[in-house]
Amino acid sequence: MSFNNAENNRILLIEEVLNQLQTAVNNLISKKQLQQLMLIRQEEIEALKTRMTALETQVTLLQSSIQG
């Protein structure tokens, strides 16, 4: 029993969509990888906060020495 053209086209379309779906799934990162990336980002944020605090302190000291 062979497929007619419509059935064959339908199967080809299904295969194409499945291939696209497989590609999309393969491009997803795992939960563990996402957690690791979020941890890195949080560490970067904390480092930037520390630097900002240090810079604010330096500016305050400079302002007081200029006005002093």
> How far apart, in whole angstroms, are the C-alpha atoms of residue 11 and residue 13?
5
How far apart (Å, rounded) are the C-alpha atoms in residues 63 and 68? Answer: 8
Record the pTM.
Answer: 0.58
Question: What digits encode the pLDDT tens for the residues 9-23?
Answer: 999 999 999 999 999
Split at pLDDT 50, 70, 90, the class of 3 is: confident
Q: List, for residues 11-60, the tens digit of each pLDDT value.
A: 999 999 999 999 999 989 899 999 999 999 999 999 999 999 999 999 99
Ranges of beta strands (E only) in 1-68 are: none
- d(CA 64, CA 68) in angstroms, rounded, equals 5
Closest CA to 23 of 15, 33, 34, 12: 15
